[in-house]
Amino acid sequence: MIYLDNAATTFPKPESVYRAVDDCLRNYCANPGRGGHKLSLQSGRVLLEARELLAELFNADSPDNVILTHNATEALNLALKGFLKRGSHVITTSMEHNSVMRPLKVLEKLDIETTIVQCNEYGEIDIGSIEKEIKKETALIAATHASNVVGTIIPIEDIGDLAKRYGLTFLVDASQTAGVYDIDMQKMNISMLAFAGHKSLMGPQGTGGLCIKRGLELTPLQEGGTGSKSELLYQPDIMPDRFESGTHNTPGIAGLCAGLSFIKSKGIDIIRSHEQELVRYFLDGLAEMKNVKVYGIKDISKQAPVVSINVGDTGSSEISYILDRTFDIATRSGLHCAPMAHRTIGTMEQGTVRFSFGFFNTKEQVGEALNAIENIGTLL
């Protein structure tokens, strides 16, 4: 199969990731931080290594400020529900995933106001439109780094500058960019950075995290055992234990460490260049097809390796089904858990067929996908 659904989760993973997960499960997978024996300590060292690699990658304040979660959704829920207080105001964009939109809808019932700034049909946002919505109650700006529907990159450094100027907290959803694009929390004035471990960071599913600025106050989503301060009946204040109750996904985090090490050895610039070239080749091929509509900005310098299309008036699910069953090509159809983004680009009814490329895809595979799209018309 040709796998072109990397925006959902990357596949395959580097061989080192498989080996790391297997090694953990077979040789030392005890409960980290819950004992003084060798296996527990070894598991704990894996968690520390992950925090150190992530803090280095994102230029976070400290490894202790890297909270390990099970996915980006959990991280975003922690950021939004843990930070926003009754009566506060948050600004976000129309390109956000439901992992941002749905928590905000719940928070609206708690007297928290949301303003959704409209992007244009290509997924681009005007920074001035965000600034116009800032008022005295505004506490947070939340923005995706890149759309999971069309790949359009949001200028987070400019938004970070805006947030700093007004003294606002800035939350970035880096699910589609972490591991491919440079993210510097200090330079970009990012207060909270949510990421998925299983996408471009090349770790297993069940991994993710939230990096938070030192001194930022959040309320935990849950309380429980942390392996620290066990004499207390209240949740400890120490980082990162305050936000990490319960047993960690140690095998997954071991795999995430291997994924992060793979990225570090290859270099983000090399990874990004390869994926951009695949997108360029794909867009050039699509431009020759009369019955194919391509959404988004169609500029690899401003677009993550995500391309959404439709073939005539045919439903996106039918096209994706044919690609899977006839051509053995995996894509994602529908609304991609981002209905506001689809309203923005005008595809709420039809949805789109999303092609998303990863480091292990090849130009030959992209060529086969182009041939399949061109030949689909004969099967409809």
Contact 25, 232 (CB under 8 A): no
CB environment 332-367: b (16+ within 10 A), e (fewer): bbbbbbbbbbbebbebeebbbbbbbbbbebeeebbe
Find out whether the peptide bond into 240 is cis, omega within 30 degrees of 0: yes
Catalytic residue, chosen from 24, 29, 257, 337, is 337
For the question of residue 337 being annotated catalytic, the response is: yes
d(CA 306, CA 297): 11
Backbone angles phi, psi at 346, to 5 degrees: 85, 30
Contact 100, 144 (CB under 8 A): yes
Residue listed under structure tokens 């006839």: 326
d(CA 292, CA 310): 6
**Residues designated catalytic:** 337
